[in-house]
Amino acid sequence: MTETVAKPAYSRILLKLSGEVLMGDDAFGINRDTIDRMVDEIIAVSALGVELAIVIGGGNIFRGVAGGAAGMDRATADYMGMLATVMNSLALAEAISRKNVPARVMSAISIDQVAEPYVRPKALQYLEEGKVVVFAAGTGNPFFTTDTAAALRGAEIGAQVVLKATKVDGVYSADPMKDPTATRYSRISFDEAMVKNLGIMDATAFALCRDQKLPIKVFSIIKPGALQRVVLGEDEGTLVYA
């Protein structure tokens, strides 16, 4: 008897990881066990034939120097944050490559000795070849978050969905840590999320996804197997749709 293999709901996705999810239980930096577990989930999704690009934040690295950055010019601090995302991207790509899945880091700022410059046609070529592409350094501009970079890169590469991986398993009617009666939305429209001021992404990223009709799926990367369940179209997390 032939076993039925589940088909992915998406063929090309943009995964947005916050830097904080790499810390595990550490105060800052990268927890090796945590990154290895995430890499296993990423590889499992790639093995389904899904073309996968990733944008990762730098909060876990920048947190270690946050005290020294107090009072610093915003643009300078943002450029430091971009460098932190490059460090995270290199660590993630190296961990993926160690498990025999090709990964490429493409940076929005010029840092040629460390990462390739971001070039859209090249990124599309890598995705079509089955490589995991990690977009580093945000948009390359200060005053824009990595959420905005995820929305921008997702639109540029023609991703079918932006997967926002967090420590919370979806979007709730209230803070579930403070309100035990808070309920998780399975689906919610962009307009309803705006009216309820749910703060799913920063305003620029959210508006870009809304304008491009690019859905956002919010889920917990901490839950084992959650990424694969999202990609397979199961009821995991919250879908924000146009």
Consult the annotation and say whether 118 binds a ligand: no
Question: pLDDT category, 169, cuts 50, 70, 90?
Answer: very high
Question: pLDDT category, 217, cuts 50, 70, 90?
Answer: very high
Consult the annotation and say whether 139 binds a ligand: yes
Position 7 in a domain = no
The mean pLDDT of 39-56, rounded to a whole number, is: 97
Say how far apart CA 134 and CA 57 lie, in whole Å. Answer: 11
95 is in which domain, residue-wise? 12-241
Consult the annotation and say whether 130 binds a ligand: no
Torsion, Cα 14 17 174 192, to 10 degrees, reads -20
Contacts of 211 (CB under 8 A, 6+ apart): none
Consult the annotation and say whether 233 binds a ligand: no
Consult the annotation and say whether 63 binds a ligand: yes
Consult the annotation and say whether 79 binds a ligand: no
Q: Count how many domains the chain has.
A: 1
Consult the annotation and say whether 166 binds a ligand: yes
Question: pLDDT category, 1, cuts 50, 70, 90?
Answer: very low
> Is the pLDDT reported for residue 70 higher than 90?
no
Consult the annotation and say whether 148 binds a ligand: no
The CATH number covering residue 155 comes to 3.40.1160.10
Position 84 in a domain = yes
Consult the annotation and say whether 19 binds a ligand: yes
Position 4 in a domain = no
Position 126 in a domain = yes
- Quick one: angle between helices 32-46 and 74-97, nearest 10? 70
Position 101 in a domain = yes
Position 116 in a domain = yes
Question: pLDDT category, 63, cuts 50, 70, 90?
Answer: low
Position 6 in a domain = no
Range with the poorest average pLDDT among 62-71, 94-103, 159-168 = 62-71
Consult the annotation and say whether 142 binds a ligand: yes
List pLDDT tens digits, range 99-127.
999 999 999 999 999 999 999 999 999 99
Whether the CB-CB separation of 26 and 209 falls below 8 Å is answered with: no
Consult the annotation and say whether 17 binds a ligand: yes
Consult the annotation and say whether 68 binds a ligand: no
Position 2 in a domain = no
The mean pLDDT of 30-46, rounded to a whole number, is: 93
